[in-house]
Amino acid sequence: MSTTSKTIAVFGGNGFLGRKICEIGIKRGYEVTSYSRSGKPPQAILPNQDQNSNQNQPDWVSKVNWSKVDIFQPQEIKSQLGQFNTIVHSIGMLFEDISYKKAANSASSLSNFGDITRFINSIMGSNPMQKDKKNMSYEAVQRDSALSIAEEYIQARKDTIPRSNAEDEPIGNYVYISADKAPPIIPERYIKTKREAEFELSKKLYLRSILMRPGAMYDETHNLGTTKRDVILKSLKIGVDLKNSLLGQNFLSNLVRPVVSTTQVAEALYDKLEDPGFSGVVPVEFIEKEPK
Ligand SMILES: NC(=O)c1ccc[n+]([C@@H]2O[C@H](COP(=O)([O-])OP(=O)(O)OC[C@H]3O[C@@H](n4cnc5c(N)ncnc54)[C@H](OP(=O)(O)O)[C@@H]3O)[C@@H](O)[C@H]2O)c1
């Protein structure tokens, strides 16, 4: 496999984590393509800013190739996939009713505990089991889309790369954004479908699989604006840090899991990607050691 090519496609590249993977990829000298439904760069979320304006966007944004695809139709971009040395799948859902995402990603106006409680209630008030839209299940989004993109990628790579080497040698890298554990209120199928995808991907011939297992994430840099999610997750991080300093890291470590920044996840991803001998699971304990 060519290890020199620094070409990467990020499915979900304009999402909360995906945009950081794109940003750090550009900083590390990769040619980065983002695929998402809208095909647009992450929208500015600064208060009072025109949502369709790219003004004030950081420089890296203009260096990414922002492309459009439906993850359930990866065959439509098969001819493009062969060029990439690495594919990242960074798409998932906490609840099957996705209305929670809009609330979480809106600009922060949480100024006190009452605001935070009302926000959490607005998320919890949605029916997690609602499946009113086609393909809006954990199975479809978190498992099946990852596997069908992997299949199209393998076929595209086989068509692109002359194969003189051992039959089952990897011909591409596939990074799957999984998760550490399911938060308490999230249905069990959230983590079950992540583990099923991990299992299937790790068995695939021709792929070197890297399975990232971040915990809850916040955005350290918020260079695109602070969201309600940032406020809540940063508060959670302060709580976990306090617990660790008062009671030690091992105390309740199965229940109180590390909270990490999107920067740490993205840096850990590239560190493992650039270690040619590595494949398999990257646990949150590794991710949290990265500089913030
Ligand atoms: N956020 C956390 O705290 C956390 C914690 C642990 C693990 N994770 C995992 O990390 C990954 C990324 O999470 P995130 O919070 O960054 O998600 P996110 O902000 O919701 O981003 C999802 C991305 O997927 C794209 N997308 C959704 N449906 C699509 C479709 N049908 N076709 C093409 N693109 C589609 C979205 O772009 P468009 O809307 O433009 O299509 C967006 O770029 C997920 O696997 C998640 O389970 C997240």
> CA torsion sign, 254 to 255 to 260 to 265?
positive
- Taking the C-alpha atoms of residue 226 and residue 228, their distance in angstroms, rounded to an integer, is 7
Task: End-to-end CA distance of the chain: give it in Å, rounded.
Answer: 32
* Ligand 1 centroid from CA 177, angstroms: 9
Write down the CATH number for the domain with range 7-287: 3.40.50.720
Structural domain spans, the chain: 7-287
Q: From the CB of 191, is ligand 1 less than 6 Å away?
A: no
Least confident of 36-40, 66-70, 217-221, 270-274: 217-221
Sign of the four-CA dihedral 278, 284, 287, 289: negative
Q: Residue range 15-19: average pLDDT?
A: 95
**Ligand 1 mean position, distance from CA 106 (Å):** 15
φ, ψ of residue 195 in degrees (nearest 5): -65, -35
Please report which confidence band the pLDDT of residue 243 belongs to, taking 50, 70 and 90 as the band edges: low
Measured CA to CA, the distance from residue 251 to residue 284 in angstroms comes to 17
Ligand 1 lined by 172 (C-beta under 6 Å) = no
Tokens of 221: 């840099």
Q: In angstroms, what is the span from residue 232 Cα to ligand 1's centroid?
A: 18
Amino acid at 25: G
Q: What is the DSSP string of 173-233?
A: EEEEE--S---TTS-THHHHHHHHHHHHHHH-TTEEEEEE---SEE-SS-TT--BHHHHHH
The DSSP code for 76 is G
Residue matched to tokens 């550490």: 180
How far is ligand 1, taken at its centre, from the CA of residue 248, in Å?
33
Q: Is 15 in the pocket of ligand 1 (CB under 6 A)?
A: yes
pLDDT of residue 130: 46
SS3 content of the chain, % helix, strand, coil (to 5): 40, 15, 45
Nearest CA to ligand 1 atom 45: 92
Among 27, 9, 33, residue whose Cα is nearest residue 223:
27
Which helix (H) or strand (E) segment holds residue 20: the answer is helix 18-27
Q: Whose C-alpha lies nearest to ligand 1, atom 24?
A: 12
- Long-range contacts of the stretch 41-45 (C-beta < 8 A, 24+): 41/14, 41/66, 42/14, 42/15, 42/224, 44/224, 44/225, 45/105, 45/106, 45/107, 45/224, 45/225, 45/227
What digits encode the pLDDT tens for the residues 82-119? 999 999 999 999 888 766 566 666 665 555 555 555 55
Entry field: residues in the chain: 292
Best of 34, 37, 70, 287 for a ligand 1 pocket test (most atoms within 8 Å of beta carbon): 37
What letter would DSSP give residue 77? G
Tokens matching residue 113: 């505990």
Q: What pLDDT shows up at residue 252?
A: 62
**Token pair of 11 as six digits:** 């499915």
Task: Summarize pLDDT for 156-204 with one digit per residue, the tens.
Answer: 999 998 766 556 789 999 999 999 998 777 899 999 999 999 999 999 9
**CA-CA distance, 124 to 116, in Å (whole number)?**
12
Query: Is 154 close to ligand 1, i.e. is its CB under 6 Å away?
Result: no
Q: Which pTM does this prediction carry?
A: 0.83
Element spanning 99, H or E: helix 99-105
